[in-house]
C-alpha cells in the first residue's frame, strides 16, 4: 500500500512539473472557455467585435507562449509520463497550426460571405478546440493520446463542415462522418492489435521497437496497415480520400482552407513519427516500405489524374489536395536526415498558397455566382492585379519558380534521390519518377486557370470590380511564397539545426 502511495505521489509530481510546458495549450483552452461564457453573456450586435478581440487575443497569447517554449527548449522533453513529447519539431508544426488558425479567422472576418457564421460562438469554439486537439496530436507519442486527439479533431471537423446548413453541405458532412467513423474503427482495431502484442503504448520508445522485433511479422504488418487508416483519412490520402471532393463542394470555404492545412500537416508529422519503428525493423522494412510507397504513389496518380477533368475549381482543389498529400507522403518512407527538413519546408510553403487559392475561389464565386473554371474567362484582362495574384498562386501549387513551391518539391525529390543512392532500392526510384511525372501532369490543370484568365475572352464585357481590401491578403500570401523562393536558406538553416 505504501509503495502504491509513493508511486501515485511521483506521478502527480511529474504531472505538476509538466503543466508549465503546456502554456500554449492552456491559453487556447482558456480562449474556448471565454467563448462558452460569452455565448451566455452577449446577445447584442456588439458581440462580433468582442468575438474578434477574444479570438485574436487568445491566438496571439498562445503564439507568444509557443515562441517562448521554442526558445527555452534545448532538446525533446517527455511530459505527462511519456504520453507527450515537446521539442523543436513539435513547436514548429504547432506554429503552423496557429498560423492556419489566424489566417482562417482573418479570412472569415474580411469576407461578407461568412457574416452569419462569425456571429455564432459555436464557430469559434469548434475551430479553436480543433486547433487545441491538433496541438496535442502533434506532441503525442502514446497510442491512446493519439487516438483521442484524432477523434476530437474529427468531431470538431464534422461540426464545422455543416455550419452553413445547406443541402450540399449536409450531404458532404454525412459522408465525411461515415468515412471518418469507419477509419476510426479500423485505426482503433490496429492500435489494439499492436498494443496486444507489444504491451506498450508509447510508439516512440525503444521498448516498443524491441517488442515489435519479437512478434510474428504478419501480425505486425496487419496491425500497421489497420492503424494508419485514421492518419490517411486526416491527410486525405488514398484509399481514404473519397469524402474529400464532396466536402470541398459543400462545406464553408473558410473552414475548408483550415482543413486543407492544419489537420493534414499535423497528421503527416505524427505519421512520420509513427512509421519510424516499423521502418527500422529489419524484417518488416521492405513490407512497410511497399505499403507507404503504394499509398504515396496512388495518391499522387489518382489526385492528379482526377483533377485533370474537373470543371469546378473547388473540386479541382480537392483532388489537388490529395495529390499534395501523396507528394508529402514520400518523406514518410525516407530515413535519410534530409527528409524531415524537406517535409517542414513543404508544409510551410503550402500554407500561404492554399489559403490564397481558397480566398480567390471565394472571391470569384461571390463575383460570378459560381466556382466553375469557365467563369474565369478574361477576368485577368479585366483586373490584371487579381489575375497576376491568381497566376502566382497556381504556379506555386504546381511547384515552379519563382515561388517556394519549386524548392518544396525540389527538396523532397532531392531527399528521395539521396535515399535511392544510399540504399539502391527500386522503390525510391519509383517515387522519384512519379514525383516528376505527376508534377508535369499538374501543369495541365493548374496552368489552365491562367490560360482562362488571360487568353480567353468573356462573352459579356461587364467590368470586374474588386476592392483592394479583398485581394490584399492573397497578395501578402503570394509575396511570402516569392520571398521564400528568393531566400530559402533562412529556413533551411533553421530546419537542419533543429534539435530533436
Which pLDDT value is given to residue 500? 45
Put residue 424 in one of left, alpha, beta given phi > 0 → left and psi -120 to 50 → alpha.
Answer: left
Which pLDDT value is given to residue 97? 94
Which pLDDT value is given to residue 216? 77
What cell does 447 get?
496552368
DSSP assignment of 350-413 equals HHHHHHHHHHHHHHHHHHHS--BGGGGTTHHHH-HHHHHHHHHHHHHHHT-TTSHHHHHHHHHH
Instruction: Please name the residues in contact with 145: beta carbons below 8 A apart, sequence gap of 6 or more.
Output: 83, 84, 136
Q: Which residues of 277-306 are buried (b: 16+ CB within 10 A; e: fewer)?
A: bbeebeebeebbbebbbebbbbbbbbbbeb
Classify residue 241 as exposed, middle or buried by CB count within 10 Å of its CB (0-12, 13-18, 19+).
buried
Q: What CA–CA distance (Å, rounded) separates 405 from 403?
A: 5
C-alpha 193 chain-centroid distance: 27
Residue 140, SS3 per DSSP: strand
Which pLDDT value is given to residue 116? 63
| Overall pTM > 0.75 | yes
Residues of the chain with pLDDT under 50: 499-500
pLDDT in tens, 316-347: 999 999 999 999 999 998 888 888 888 999 99
DSSP assignment of 326-352 equals HHHGGGGG--STTHHHHHHHHHHHHHH
Note if the bond before 239 is cis, omega within 30 degrees: yes
Which pLDDT value is given to residue 283? 73
Amino acid at each position: 500500500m505504501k509503495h502504491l502511495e509513493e508511486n501515485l505521489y511521483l506521478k502527480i509530481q511529474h504531472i505538476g512539473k509538466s503543466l508549465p510546458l503546456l502554456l500554449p495549450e492552456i491559453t487556447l483552452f482558456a480562449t474556448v472557455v471565454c467563448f462558452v461564457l460569452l455565448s451566455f453573456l452577449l446577445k447584442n450586435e456588439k458581440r462580433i467585435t468582442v468575438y474578434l478581440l477574444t479570438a485574436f487575443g487568445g491566438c496571439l497569447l498562445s503564439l507568444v507562449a509557443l515562441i517562448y517554449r521554442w526558445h527555452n527548449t534545448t532538446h525533446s522533453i517527455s511530459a505527462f509520463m511519456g504520453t507527450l513529447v515537446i521539442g523543436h519539431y513539435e513547436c514548429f508544426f504547432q506554429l503552423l497550426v496557429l498560423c492556419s488558425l489566424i489566417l482562417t479567422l482573418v479570412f472569415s472576418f474580411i469576407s461578407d460571405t461568412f457574416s452569419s457564421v462569425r456571429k455564432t460562438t459555436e464557430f469559434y469554439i469548434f475551430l479553436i478546440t480543433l486547433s487545441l486537439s491538433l496541438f496535442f496530436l502533434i506532441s503525442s507519442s502514446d497510442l491512446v493520446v493519439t487516438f483521442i486527439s484524432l477523434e476530437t479533431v474529427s468531431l470538431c471537423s464534422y461540426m464545422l463542415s455543416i455550419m452553413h446548413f445547406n443541402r450540399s453541405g449536409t450531404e458532404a458532412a454525412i459522408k465525411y462522418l461515415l468515412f471518418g467513423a469507419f477509419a476510426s474503427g479500423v485505426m482503433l482495431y490496429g492500435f489494439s492489435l499492436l498494443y496486444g502484442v507489444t504491451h506498450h503504448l508509447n510508439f516512440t520508445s525503444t521498448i516498443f521497437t524491441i517488442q515489435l522485433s519479437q512478434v510474428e511479422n504478419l501480425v505486425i504488418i496487419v496491425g500497421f496497415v489497420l492503424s494508419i487508416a485514421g492518419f490517411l483519412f486526416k491527410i486525405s490520402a488514398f484509399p481514404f480520400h473519397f469524402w474529400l471532393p464532396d466536402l470541398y463542394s459543400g462545406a464553408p470555404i473558410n473552414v475548408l482552407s483550415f482543413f486543407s492545412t492544419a489537420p493534414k500537416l499535423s497528421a503527416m508529422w505524427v505519421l512520420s513519427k509513427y512509421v519510424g519503428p516499423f521502418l527500422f525493423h529489419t524484417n518488416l522494412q521492405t513490407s512497410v516500405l511497399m505499403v507507404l510507397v503504394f499509398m504515396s504513389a496512388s495518391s499522387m496518380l489518382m489526385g492528379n489524374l482526377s483533377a485533370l477533368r474537373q470543371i469546378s475549381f473547388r473540386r479541382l482543389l480537392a483532388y489537388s489536395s490529395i495529390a499534395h498529400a501523396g507528394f508529402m507522403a514520400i518523406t514518410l518512407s525516407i530515413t535519410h536526415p534530409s527528409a524531415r527538413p524537406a517535409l517542414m519546408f513543404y508544409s510551410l510553403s503550402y500554407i500561404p498558397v492554399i489559403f490564397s487559392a481558397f480566398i480567390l475561389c471565394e472571391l470569384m464565386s461571390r463575383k460570378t455566382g459560381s466556382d466553375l473554371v469557365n467563369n474565369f474567362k478574361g477576368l485577368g484582362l479585366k483586373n490584371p492585379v487579381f489575375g497576376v495574384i491568381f497566376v502566382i498562386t497556381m504556379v506555386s501549387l504546381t511547384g515552379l519558380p519563382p515561388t517556394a513551391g519549386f524548392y518544396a518539391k525540389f527538396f523532397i525529390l532531392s531527399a528521395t534521390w539521396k535515399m535511392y543512392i544510399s540504399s539502391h532500392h527500386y522503390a525510391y526510384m519509383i517515387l522519384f519518377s512519379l514525383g516528376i511525372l505527376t508534377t508535369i501532369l499538374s501543369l495541365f490543370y493548374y496552368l489552365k486557370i491562367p490560360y482562362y484568365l488571360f487568353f480567353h475572352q468573356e462573352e459579356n464585357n461587364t467590368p470586374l470590380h474588386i476592392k483592394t481590401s479583398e485581394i490584399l491578403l492573397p497578395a501578402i500570401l503570394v509575396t511570402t511564397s516569392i520571398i521564400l523562393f528568393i531566400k530559402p536558406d533562412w529556413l533551411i538553416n533553421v530546419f537542419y539545426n533543429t534539435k530533436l
